Each structure stands twice: as C-alpha cells, then as structure tokens.
A and B are shown apart, each in its own frame.
Chain A
Amino acid sequence: MMMRFLLLLTSCLLALPAWAGDDLLAALGERSRQIQSLHGQFEQQKTIAVLPTPLDSNGRFTVEQGQFVVWELLQPVQQTIRLSPAGITLETDGKAEQIGASMPKNGAETVTRIFMAVISGQWQTLRDHFAIEATGDTGKWQLTLTPRSPALASYIRQITIRGGEFTEYLAIAETNGDNTSIRLVTDKVVRSPQ
C-alpha cells in the first residue's frame, strides 16, 4: 500500500513541471491576447561564427495584435519589415517590395513568421513549429523552443525567450554556429478594454 502511494506521488511529481509549463504558457498566451498594441525598442547583437566582432543593430518595433507587426531597423542600416496576414513587405531606402521578389518566398516566409510570432507573443503559432518548455511564473519566465520538424532543426538549434510582464530577451541559436540575441524594451502598451 505504502509502495503504491509512493509510486503515485513520484509520478505526480514527475508530471508536475509539464503541467506547470502548460499552465504558464496558457497564462502568457492569455496575457498576450489582452494586449491590443505594443511599441518598443530593440537592440540586436549577432555573433557570426568566424567574425571577430559581433554585429550590433537597433531599432523600433510595433505590434498591433492580430493585424500587423512592424520591425524597423534604424542602425546601421534602414529597413522596415511589415508583416500582416496579407503578406510580408520589405521597405529599404524608401522602396517597398513584397517578399518573394528577390528571395524564395518559402524559406524567408517561414523564418519571418516564426520571428514575428516570438515578438508578438503568439505562443500557439510557435507551438505548431516548436516543442516549448516553459519555466518560472508569469512575473519572471523563460521559454525554450526546440524545433519539431527536422527541416527546421537543420537551421535553428534553439530559441530562448525570457520576460516578465513583456518579452524582454530573445536568443536564437542557429545550427551553423551563429547566435542572435535581442533585447526588447517595451515603452507603450494599449490593453484591450475588458
């Protein structure tokens, strides 16, 4: 009897983190949905395997929940990426082009959509592509994303996302050895009317 109880207890304990992770993810998803729009700044540092110095860049971002995401690179190059359900537009030096014109639509689109889902907190979309391990609580959390499909896994090794009230930090480790880390500072939030 005692043994059976112990076994039961152990299995409950083993199951606990997964439960906590799912709950946390659900709570974070719920919080993202309450946000109508989000504005902020970012600082990106990209380490390329063979280059001695990392590539730094910065800019602004805007998320209109369910409508579009704008990622505005200001330094050292100017480029605006606008992602909406209608497609992805790239604006460089005042010239706008639909994605697919200069690079294969398929590859770029997947990567871009994943990136934008991370920024706007669309955890459900991400779950389609990644196994997500969530730790912490809604005040301070970390998500570790591992690709589900071998196709994606041959490019992305892991994505780590950390945050509190909003997403604060994001690191993408590529299979080729490159690493990108992005710090996000949210400075304007509009929540949906309850």
Chain B
Amino acid sequence: MNSPGQPLPRRDHCYALLWLVALIGCALFCMHQIRVAKPFHSNLLELLPRDERKPVIHDLSLTMASRFEDKLLVLVNAADRAQGLAQARDLQARLLASPYLVADDSGQALPSLLLHQYRPYSQQLLTPERRAWLQSHSPMALAEQRYRELFSPVALPYPFGFAEDPFNLGGYWMTGLAAHVELQEYQGFPLIERAQPWLLVTAKLTTSPFDVAVQQDVSTAIDHFRSAWPQAQILTSGMVFHAAEGTRMAKHEINTVGIGSGLGIIVLVLLVFRSAVPLLAVLLTMTSAYVLALTVSLLVFERIHLITLAFGSTLLGVAGDYVLHFLMGSQREGSGARARHELRYAMAIGALTGMGAYLLQSATPFPGLQQMAVFCAAGIAGAWLTVLALAPYYRMAPDSHRPSLVAAAMFYRLGEAVYRPFWARPKRVGAALTIVVLMAVFSLVRGGVNDAVTNLNTSPEALMASERQVQDILQQPSISRFLVVEADTPEQLLVRARLLESTLKQWNDEAKTSLRWLGLHQYLPAAAQQEQDRQLVAATLYGPEGALVLLCQKLGTPCKAPELSPQVLTPAVLDENISRFLPPLLHRDGRWYSLVTLGGNVSDAQLVELTRSLQGVTFVNQTADLSSLLGRYRLSVSEILGLTLVLLAVGLAFRYRQRGWRMLLPLAISMVLALGCAAVEGITLFHTMALLLVIGIGLDTAVVYTEVGFNAESWLASSLACMTSVLAFGLLSLSVVPVLHQFGIIILIGILSAWLLTPLFFCPRYHRPPGQ
C-alpha cells in the first residue's frame, strides 16, 4: 500500500495504460461504427422475439412489414380540387428535395410488367366471373356480346389485340386484378374518393427509415409544408414517420435522463467531496462504462435500438455505485490503492451479481432484452474495470482535509438518529414490514397483469390515428391480421388459397359483410386451373363451332384462332419486380407458405370459425399472438427472477453463512413493494425485467454493509449511489414511452426501498439491544 510520494508499482502503470489504450480503441471503434454502419434504429419489430412456435409467421410478417418500410404516403385532402392539387405538388417538391427521397414509381411500372408477364398466358387466365360467364353462355351469345363490344365505347382496355386475344380475356383479367382498388388519377396524383376526396403523395426512401438523416428531411418537409399551408389537412403513413417519432422520443429521453442524472451526480459529488478530482473520477468512470457498453453491444449486435440507448443512460447511475463506494473508501483509507484492496470483494461481488443478473436476462430469447442486458452488463464491467485500473492514482496527502469524511460523519449522525428507534424495536419493525408487504401483495393481486401490445408502442396516438385513417382510406390490408396458407407444393398452396377465397366469398355474400382479401392465387391461378381454363377457352371460343367462328362470320372477315400456350404460369417464372407487390411465398423445411391479407370488419372468432375446416389455413392475429408472447415472457422472466433469488440465497449463504438472509430480505421486500406500486397499471413483462436491475443495484448496498459494516462512509456512499440511480430512474419513470416508464417506476421504488430498508437489517454492534 503506497502513499503519496512513493512511486506506483510498475504493474499499476501497465494496467492503467492497458485501460487507456482499450478506452481509446473502444471510443474510436464506436465513432467509426456510428458513422459508417449507422447502427441505431427504432424498429420495434426487431426488438421482439421470434415466435419460436411459428418462425415462418414471424418471417412472413417481417417480409410484409419490410415492404412498407421504404415508402411514405401522405394523403392531402382535395375537397377543393385546385387547392389540394397545389398542396400535393408543393409537398411532393419539398419531399423530393431531400437526397434520401425519390419519386415512388415502382407501382407505376407494375401494370406494364404485369401485361408483359401475362401476355403468353392470356388465353388461360380467367377470373371466376369470366369463367362463369363463358360456362353459362352459348358460343352464339358470346360472339354477339363480343361483336357489340367491338363497336362500343363502353369497353374494357384491350391490351393484347385481336390477333392474340380476340375476346379480350386479357382485359378482363387485368381489370379483375385492379378491382380491389379504386384509384383514379388527378393530374399525375392518385385520387381516392371516399367521404372526402384525397390526393396521394408518395415517396420512396433510398435509405433505411431508421436513418436519422432521412427522418430529419421528412420532418422538416412536413413541418415547412404545414406552416406554408396551415389550412391543409394531411394524413401520413409510413415507417419513417414512426421511426422519426421514435428517434425524437428516444433523444428526448436520453437527454432528459442523461443530462438530468449527470447534472444531479455532479452536484452531489461536488457537495460531498468539494474537489474536482472525485468529480473527474465519477465522470471518467461513467464515460468508460458507456463506451465499453456501446462497444460490446456494437460487436454483439448488428443494430442497436434507440430504446436500448435510452435505457442504457440509466447505466450512468449504476456505474456511479462503484466509483462512489470507492471514493468514500479512499477518503477513509487515505489512498485509492488501499480502498481498492479493502473493497475488492464488495466491488467484485456487486459487479458480478449485477452482470449475472443482466446476463440471465440475455438468456431470454427476447432480442430487446438481450440488447439491454448486454449493454448494461458490459457497462458494469467497464465501470468496475475503470475503478480497478485507476484506483492507485487517487492519492491524497495523509494530513489533507477530507470534507467528505466530515459530511459522512454528519450524515451518519442523521442516519443513526433515524434508525435508532427502529433498531431498538425489531419486532415492531417486523410487524410493520409484514403489513406493508401484505398491502403490496394485495395491490399486486388486484392489479393483475397487463400484456397489451400497446406497451411496446413509441408513437403518439395522433400518429397512430393518422396511420389507421390512411389504411382505411386506401383500403390497405392489415399487416397484423391475416390468413396463413401452407402446403407441400406451390401448386397445392394455390389450390388451397382458391378454396379459401371461395369460402370467404360465400361468407361475404351470405353475411353481407365487406371482407376484402388479397392472395397470390388471384395473380397466379393454380396450374391445374390454368389448364382447365385453357380447355374451356379452346372449346367455347376457338372450337370448330366456337364463338370465334361465329364472330368472324358477323365481321365478314376470315380470322384464325390465337395459338394457346403449352406452358402454365408458375411462381417460379414470376418476375421478381412483380412478386414483391404480392403476398410473399416462402419455402421452409420442405413446405411452402404464403398469406392471404385481410381488410374490412370481420371478427377474429368469425374468421377462425370460417377457416376451421380448411386444410392448411391458419388465421393469425399478430397483435393477439404478440400479447400472449409478452405474457409467456413475463412468466419466464419471473421464473428467472425466482431462480436468481434462489441462486443468490445459496451463494450468499455459502459466503456469509447466517448473515446472508440480512442481505436478501430487504431486497425481497423492496421488490414486492416496487411491484405493488407498479401493479396499479397491471404488471407487464418490463416490470419483471426491471426487478432484475433492482437486484443488481440493491445487492451492491447490502454487500458493502456486510463487507465493511454500516458505517459513516458506507452509509453516505450508498446514499449517494442511491440518489444518482433515483435521479436517473426517477426521470425515466416520467417517460411517455410505456416501456421506459415501467422500467423507471420499478427501479425508482425498488431502489428507494432498498436504500431505506437495508440499514434496518444492519444495526451496528454498539446499538444492538442485549441478547441480539
């Protein structure tokens, strides 16, 4: 143990140098990754676990969601057509001024792509209506109808011409595809007539919607548009708007929590230590903790959610624990090296249990949880290692004035005064605690659980309402409610989807509902169906007594039947540029999967009932599934929590024997109290996750009290550490993001309780009533 003036051992310099190099390396790595790989995102779907029971459904819905990711839609009210048009043009110009946005013409190319794709097969593609028409009319009637059509201005588009398609089967097929949408055009903008007319402005992102640069451009364009046209009524839809909102919110949280708790910590440290060096130590430790946390997270995960970062800001509070205990210890011992030696077990046990608690979290198959766990575990390691590496450099003259010791002594007197009556009456304290715990349990039972998916939402209600309105106006299918069709072959899948469609159609007709659906089979009939239709066409239209012969007699010209394709159109030959507009077709483990999207108001129960008897068809409500998933994880995290407590009890009993229970009991009571308070809104997965954190931080205090006793320095250090955490999490509990709020409230109550309750169990020897 060296004192000022004595040179430090070589080993200490080596450690410090190693630490410095590592810190600089990590910082450079982080800066590089942030600039080049742009790892931050606000995509909630990526935080959610893959549904281990139905991985294919997870993949299907991710595929569907990814199609909407790079698009943004804005509906401009065009009740006043001219003004609506001016607004739409202005908005489009503002959006397209961004280098990250281009005109979305992918949908515009679709008609010609489809025409090209269908052309060779035009004589075997029949809509159900057209098939029924051909079956129910004589060749003479068909010829008559076609003859009239040729003169009439009320005719369908005629894409393939008389030589290839004399009866315009192609026109019927193509317009049959478009029947679901009633998109008109107005001066280059799609016009949608509902209760109000709307003009649709679209743009395509050239980068990820989670890229902050494009979010900024979009927000600016919309803001400027709104100030230029204060009367304009617009509705927005697109991942980028939600992502921008997520970013804004996360930044706000990071700033509030980061700045708030940072400032609080600075004030507290200056107040107690009245010197710049401890402050520097605190800031350095927190910075290293954050940098290491970020580095490890960037190495482990490709992308990091902003919520992880916001949550990670609370790490500042946790990291403060080590350095504050260390600083107080140094003040008492007169040297950092001695304090390090003195506190080595306390810090190691605190750090390892904290990391252990987090790493247990990362064992859950919940990507969001894993990220936060890895981030915080690495951060704790960073704080701990920093204290270990730099401790010997914190030295003070043996006779120096140590204001913190004065403060500690004063604060200890206060603490003693408060706790003395409690220490004197352990039975009453026990009874009071039992009552409080019973009340908390009562609140817990009454509050029940809450697995609603809205807990995950980061978008404000107005944005969600706008999104819903756009989906409603454009009659977009729901991406959370759909039917999954699976089969052994693509052909069987298309047959099953067709069967499903006839069931839905029959239901619509009988129940007079307006259920809408969209499936691959509508764009791509089964091969057997195509062959059957080709035969029907060949017989009724092109046979020796078919409609074409009769039609040509009427026209007075000789004409010959078109050549029918010997091939069928299969998913394998479908152009990729077309298939990305259609429901996806997935091949997994020898089976084929696709989905039929749904729109309109029909209850889940009704859809389950309708599809019950259909083979290979499953109704999926992702919102409900997700909610049950959250419930399952809530249970599994609770199990982990129980396991952690059991392991801790065993571990503490092993090291501390009889004293172990004193460490665990205040912690357990704090956890129950925190849950009791949070139960008002129903216990969620995130509440249970936050309890793991309470264990980590709360145990630190108990370990220090056990290792060095409840004395002036440990009481002040614990109080300071608690204050910093309370600052960070207290601010978090005010968050409007449900997840963060839920984390915050549990940790706030949990840590406050642990801070206040733990000393009750650590009565200094000289206060103990005789016989204890």
Name the A residues within 8 Å of B145 (CB-CB): 102
User: CA A77 – CA B184 in complex, angstroms?
Assistant: 31
The count of chain B contact residues (Cβ–Cβ below 8 Å) is 43
**Interface contact B185-A128, CB-CB below 8 Å:** yes
| Shortest CB distance A77–B (Å) | 5
Interface centre among B156, B160, B184 (most CB of A within 10 A): B156
Question: Of B111, B151, B156, B186, which contacts A108 at CB under 8 A?
Answer: B156
Residue on A with the closest CB to B115? A154
B772 contacts A by Cβ under 8 Å: no
| Shortest CB distance B557–A (Å) | 5
Question: Of A44, A104, A111, A150, which contacts B109 at CB under 8 A?
Answer: A150
- A169-192 CB contacts (< 8 Å) to partner B: 174-178
B99 contacts A by Cβ under 8 Å: no
Residue on B with the closest CB to A89? B154
**Interface contact B152-A55, CB-CB below 8 Å:** no
**Interface contact B162-A51, CB-CB below 8 Å:** yes
A86 contacts B by Cβ under 8 Å: no
| Shortest CB distance B630–A (Å) | 42
Name the A residues within 8 Å of B163 (CB-CB): 49-50
**Interface contact B112-A73, CB-CB below 8 Å:** no
Question: Of B154, B161, B175, which contacts A90 at CB under 8 A?
Answer: B154
**Interface contact A102-B161, CB-CB below 8 Å:** no
| Shortest CB distance A169–B (Å) | 15
- B134-173 CB contacts (< 8 Å) to partner A: 145, 147-148, 150-163, 171-172
A139 contacts B by Cβ under 8 Å: no
A48 contacts B by Cβ under 8 Å: yes
B182 contacts A by Cβ under 8 Å: yes
Question: Of B153, B161, B172, which contacts A49 at CB under 8 A?
Answer: B161
Q: How large is the interface on A (under 10, 10 to 19, 20 to 34, 35 or more residues)?
A: 35 or more
A67 contacts B by Cβ under 8 Å: no
B36 contacts A by Cβ under 8 Å: no
**Interface contact B172-A155, CB-CB below 8 Å:** no
> 1/0 per residue A113-127: CB within 8 Å of B?
001100000000001
User: CA A54 – CA B503 in complex, angstroms?
Assistant: 46
Name the B residues within 8 Å of A102 (CB-CB): 133, 145
A141 contacts B by Cβ under 8 Å: no
A99 contacts B by Cβ under 8 Å: yes
A57 contacts B by Cβ under 8 Å: yes
**Interface contact B559-A51, CB-CB below 8 Å:** yes
Residue on A with the closest CB to B185? A149
A10 contacts B by Cβ under 8 Å: no
Name the A residues within 8 Å of B112 (CB-CB): 150, 154
A151 contacts B by Cβ under 8 Å: yes
Name the A residues within 8 Å of B174 (CB-CB): 107
Name the B residues within 8 Å of A11 (CB-CB): none
Name the B residues within 8 Å of A63 (CB-CB): none
B511 contacts A by Cβ under 8 Å: no
> 1/0 per residue A28-72: CB within 8 Å of B?
000000000000000010101111110101000000000000010
Name the B residues within 8 Å of A108 (CB-CB): 154-156, 175
User: CA A155 – CA B159 in complex, angstroms?
Assistant: 6
Name the A residues within 8 Å of B556 (CB-CB): 53
**Interface contact A149-B160, CB-CB below 8 Å:** no
A79 contacts B by Cβ under 8 Å: yes
**Interface contact B557-A79, CB-CB below 8 Å:** no
Name the A residues within 8 Å of B127 (CB-CB): 104
B555 contacts A by Cβ under 8 Å: yes
B108 contacts A by Cβ under 8 Å: yes
Interface centre among B115, B151, B162 (most CB of A within 10 A): B151
**Interface contact A150-B162, CB-CB below 8 Å:** no
Question: Of A76, A128, A177, which contacts B187 at CB under 8 A?
Answer: A128
**Interface contact A55-B176, CB-CB below 8 Å:** no
Question: Of B129, B162, B175, which contacts A107 at CB under 8 A?
Answer: B175
B188 contacts A by Cβ under 8 Å: yes
B179 contacts A by Cβ under 8 Å: yes
**Interface contact B161-A106, CB-CB below 8 Å:** no
> 1/0 per residue B539-577: CB within 8 Å of A?
000000000000000011101000000000000000000
User: CA A152 – CA B559 in complex, angstroms?
Assistant: 29
- A123-141 CB contacts (< 8 Å) to partner B: 127-129
Known contacts A55-B150, A99-B154, A178-B161, A106 near B178 by CB under 8 Å? yes
A81 contacts B by Cβ under 8 Å: yes
User: CA A55 – CA B557 in complex, angstroms?
Assistant: 10
User: CA A142 – CA B654 in complex, angstroms?
Assistant: 99
Residue on B with the closest CB to A73? B151
Known contacts A104-B172, A105-B179, A174-B158, A46 near B151 by CB under 8 Å? yes
User: CA A112 – CA B156 in complex, angstroms?
Assistant: 9
| Shortest CB distance B116–A (Å) | 10
**Interface contact B159-A176, CB-CB below 8 Å:** yes
**Interface contact B156-A111, CB-CB below 8 Å:** yes
**Interface contact B151-A77, CB-CB below 8 Å:** yes
Name the B residues within 8 Å of A177 (CB-CB): 161
Name the A residues within 8 Å of B148 (CB-CB): 77, 79, 92
- A148-165 CB contacts (< 8 Å) to partner B: 148-152, 154-155
User: CA A11 – CA B190 in complex, angstroms?
Assistant: 33
Name the A residues within 8 Å of B178 (CB-CB): 104, 106-107
Residue on A with the closest CB to B560? A50
A103 contacts B by Cβ under 8 Å: yes
**Interface contact B151-A176, CB-CB below 8 Å:** no
A145 contacts B by Cβ under 8 Å: no
| Shortest CB distance A74–B (Å) | 10
**Interface contact B150-A48, CB-CB below 8 Å:** yes
Residue on B with the closest CB to A76? B151
Residue on A with the closest CB to B129? A104
Residue on A with the closest CB to B149? A103
Residue on B with the closest CB to A88? B154
List 6 interface pairs A-B (beta carbons < 8 Å), by A numbering.
Answer: A107-B178, A108-B155, A110-B184, A116-B153, A174-B158, A176-B161
13 further A-B pairs in the complex, CB-CB below 8 A; given A50-B162, A77-B147, A111-B155? A50-B161, A53-B556, A77-B151, A79-B152, A104-B156, A106-B175, A108-B175, A129-B185, A149-B188, A150-B108, A176-B159, A176-B162, A178-B161
* 5 closest residue pairs by CB, A with B: A107-B175, A176-B161, A155-B157, A104-B175, A50-B163
Residues of B within 8 A of A (CB): 108-109, 111-112, 115, 127, 129, 133, 145, 147-148, 150-163, 171-172, 174-176, 178-179, 182, 184-188, 191, 555-557, 559
Residues of A within 8 A of B (CB): 44, 46, 48-53, 55, 57, 71, 73, 76-77, 79, 81, 88, 90, 92, 99, 102-108, 110-112, 115-116, 127-129, 148-152, 154-155, 174-178
